[in-house]
């Protein structure tokens, strides 16, 4: 007797992901020319450095990639004890790596993204993932009069739209490097990445080398499941290219 393998994600979650990808197409978050963003000079023009000015340039790069160049968004480091001065807390698995503030008092009411200076120093790929996440808050919420009541669900949705907007590899690798999955589990994030490259017709061979062995396994499984009969993605692909 052969046992059927368990799917990477549950059906309810899969339907939610497909619906959010449809939303991303409707809102021009995902376009037929949205690139798969890599942490390279092809996408980021910020000079090397470990200063707030470097982070501001990275934010400007993301604003260009997310088509929000006209937004006034400042950066500031989170106010916390630097890693080299902390007493290790072995019960603490994670802490907030960044925040988005829609109206900062010190910058004339402009938005502010706060970042972890330790990520700039030690985990640059995690810094990129965090900046993308905080800027997606700006994309999704800046024009809203009230924030959603359930911000935990909104955080999960924001993680997803970091992938719909092209940041899947940076998100997967950023949270893998930090040892924290963010608000979304890594298998789910890889499934979202699989949906993205399926819709954009990007060969998996262009993606797999940029992932760890564990993440490659998740992505391959997700792509295999996407090709099974009954998926809704062909309609989404036609919608994206219409």
Sorted by where each begins, the domain ranges of the chain are: 11-79+96-240
- Regarding pTM above 0.85, the answer is yes
The H or E element that residue 111 is part of is strand 111-115
Per-residue confidence at 108, pLDDT binned at 50, 70, 90?
A: low
pLDDT for 91: 33
Top-confidence residue, 115 or 83:
115
What does the block give as tokens for 207? 């993606």
Contact of 172 with 136, CB cutoff 8 Å:
no
> Which whole-number Å values give the CA distances from 145 to 5, 91, 133, 200, in the listed order?
45, 38, 20, 33
Q: Is 202 helix (H, G, I), strand (E, B) or coil?
A: coil
pLDDT digits (tens, 9 = 90+) for 41-86: 999 999 888 899 999 999 999 999 999 999 999 999 998 544 443 3
pLDDT for 13: 95
In degrees rounded to 5, what are phi and psi of residue 77?
A: -70, 145
What does the block give as tokens for 209? 């080398």
DSSP secondary structure of 40-61: STTT--PPS-SSHHHHHHHHHH
Top-confidence residue, 107 or 209:
209
Residue in 166, 157, 159 with CA at minimum distance from that of residue 200:
166
- Residue 3 has what DSSP assignment? P
Average pLDDT, the chain: 87
Reported as half-sphere exposure (CB side, CA atoms, 13 A), residue 89 has a value of: 9
**Whether residue 143 has pLDDT greater than 80:** no
Mean pLDDT of 138-151: 78
pLDDT for 230: 60
pLDDT for 93: 36
**Distance between alpha carbon 134 and the CA centroid of its chain, in Å?**
9
Mean pLDDT of 179-197: 92
- Percent of the chain beyond pLDDT 70? 86
Contact of 162 with 174, CB cutoff 8 Å:
no
Per-residue confidence at 104, pLDDT binned at 50, 70, 90?
A: low
Residue in 140, 240, 125, 216 with CA at minimum distance from that of residue 174:
125
In degrees rounded to 5, what are phi and psi of residue 76?
A: -155, 145
pLDDT digits (tens, 9 = 90+) for 192-230: 999 999 999 999 999 999 999 999 999 999 999 988 756
Strand ranges of the sheet holding 73-77, from the earlier edge strand across to the other edge = 73-77, 111-115, 98-101
Q: Is 99 helix (H, G, I), strand (E, B) or coil?
A: strand
pLDDT for 88: 35
Reported as half-sphere exposure (CB side, CA atoms, 13 A), residue 50 has a value of: 9
Q: Between the CA atoms of 169, 68, 98 and 148, what dihedral angle is there, to the nearest 10 degrees?
A: -100
């Amino acid at each position: 007797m052969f046992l059927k393998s368990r799917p990477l994600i549950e059906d309810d979650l899969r339907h939610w992901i497909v619906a959010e990808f449809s939303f991303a197409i409707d809102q021009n978050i995902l376009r037929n020319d949205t690139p798969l963003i890599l942490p390279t000079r092809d996408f980021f023009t910020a000079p090397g450095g470990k200063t707030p000015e470097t982070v501001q340039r990275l934010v400007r790069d993301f604003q260009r990639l997310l088509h929000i160049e006209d937004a006034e968004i400042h950066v500031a480091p989170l106010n916390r004890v630097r890693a080299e001065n902390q007493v290790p807390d072995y019960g603490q698995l994670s802490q907030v790596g960044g925040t988005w503030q829609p109206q900062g008092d010190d910058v004339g009411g402009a938005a502010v993204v706060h970042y972890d200076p330790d990520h700039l120093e030690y985990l640059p790929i995690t810094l990129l993932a965090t900046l993308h996440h905080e800027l997606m808050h700006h994309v999704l919420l800046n024009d809203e009069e009230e924030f959603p009541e359930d911000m935990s669900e909104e955080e999960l949705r924001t993680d997803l739209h970091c992938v719909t907007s092209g940041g899947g590899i940076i998100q997967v690798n950023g949270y893998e490097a930090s040892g924290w999955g963010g608000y979304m589990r890594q298998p789910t994030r890889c499934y979202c990445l699989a949906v993205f490259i399926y819709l954009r017709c990007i060969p998996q061979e262009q993606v797999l080398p940029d992932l760890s062995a564990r993440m490659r396994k998740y992505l391959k499984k997700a792509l295999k499941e996407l090709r099974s009969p009954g998926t809704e993605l062909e309609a989404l692909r036609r919608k994206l290219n219409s």
